[in-house]
Amino acid sequence: MRASGSDPIREAARLLAERRNAVALTGAGISVESGIPSFRGAQGMWAKYDPMEYATLHAFMQSPRKVWEMLTEMVSVCGFASPNAAHKGLAALEGMGVVRAVITQNVDGLHQAAGSRRVIEYHGSMEELICVHCWKRYLTRERWTPGAVPLCDCDEILKPNVVLFGEPIPWLAQEVAEEEARTCGVLMVIGTSAQVSPACDIPRIAKESGAAVVEINPEETSLSGNVTDIHLRGSASEVLRRILEEFSADEETPSSPSHKIK
């Protein structure tokens, strides 16, 4: 790898190459370039739908048809999306033995579609629907049709198997994610505003356990400047492309001193 100098991307690539046990924590920002809007900000979902009215378990139990107005948009948009260069870049880093797991707050399945193998779905997945009455589960693509509210065989309205506000994080996902955070060498925090608990605790857990925290986000977040060690400002696809370029440059210059770092 080339000398990092003052280039933060090179510095991040060097850390990733040295430590080889990175974990990524991703949020809605990584899927923006796949055409899926993020939640916060002027164009975000929560500018259109008040999350307290449309995204709580209580709201779903009280008025599932109203909540499905928002869910219909999410399911449609996720159904048409395909992974972008950032999802593919993370999958490539996993294939190279640099990244060992992805913890995602996203429910769109795009990390798996890009080829990532160890994906911890912290907020569940849109792929599945569940009946909150009889607990029967269905594949969304087999049960949902655009414009219709999906029903269980018992006639109750189905809920996507995602975490709504007021629901706990799936126990295993939370345990495994925290263990990954405690034991990784680098935590890459990509495309999240880090405003939702307990996901926003993961960077702090990693940092307190000795990991370097590399943030990829065009904007400042509550992590930048305190938990974050290196902030790479830019879109996830562009920054990951440049990180991968650093690895290729390393392969092309075998005499470079850092090439020995494994």
Active-site residue numbers? Answer: 123
Point out which span in 8-16, 22-30, 171-179, 240-248 binds ligand OAD (CB under 6 A): 22-30
Q: Are 83 and 237 in contact (CB under 8 A)?
A: no
- The residue range among 37-45, 131-139, 145-153, 180-188 that interacts with ligand OAD, by the rule CB under 6 A, is 37-45
CB of 63 to ligand OAD, least distance (A): 17
Q: Give helix then strand counts, H and E, for the chain.
A: 11, 9
Residue 64, preceding peptide bond in cis (omega within 30° of 0) = no
HSE, CB side, 13 Å, CA atoms: give it for residue 190: 27
Q: In a 10 Å sphere around its CB, with 0-12 CB exposed, 13-18 middle and 19+ buried, how is residue 200 labelled? A: buried
Instruction: For residue 119, give the nearest of 110, 128, 131 by alpha carbon.
Output: 110
Give 24's contacts (C-beta < 8 A, 6+ positions apart): 90, 99, 101, 102, 103, 187, 188, 189, 190
Residue 223 C-beta: closest distance to ligand OAD, Å: 10
Residue from the set 89, 150, 160, 191 that interacts with ligand OAD by CB under 6 A: 191
Binding mask 118-157 for ligand OAD (x = CB under 6 A): -----x----------------------------------
Pairing of strands 99-104, 119-121: parallel
Q: Does 28 bind ligand OAD (CB under 6 A)?
A: yes
The angle subtended at Cα 173 by Cα 58 and Cα 77, nearest 5°, is 60
Residue 110 found at the interface with ligand OAD (CB under 6 A): no
d(Cα 257, Cα 262) in Å, to the nearest integer? Answer: 11
55 is an interface residue for ligand OAD by CB under 6 A:
yes
CA of 177: how far to CAs of 3, 153, 172, 197, 202, in Å? 33, 34, 8, 13, 8
Shortest Å distance, C-beta 56 to ligand OAD: 9
Residue 234 is encoded by which pair of tokens? 């830019």
Side by side, which strands form the sheet with 137-139? 137-139, 124-130, 159-162
- In whole angstroms, how close is the CB of 105 to ligand OAD at the nearest point? 4
Residue with the closest Cβ to ligand OAD? 29
Q: Which CB, 1 or 16, lies closer to ligand OAD?
A: 16
Site for ligand OAD (CB under 6 A): which residue of 10, 24, 25, 29? Answer: 29
CB of 67 or CB of 211, closer to ligand OAD: 67
Nearer to ligand OAD, 84 or 94 (CB): 84
Q: Which of 218, 224, 229, 258: binder of ligand OAD (CB under 6 A)? A: 218
Does position 49 interact with ligand OAD (CB under 6 A)? The reply is no
**Binding interface with ligand OAD (CB under 6 A):** 27-29, 32-33, 38-40, 44, 51, 55, 105, 123, 163, 165, 191-193, 195-196, 216-219, 221, 235-236
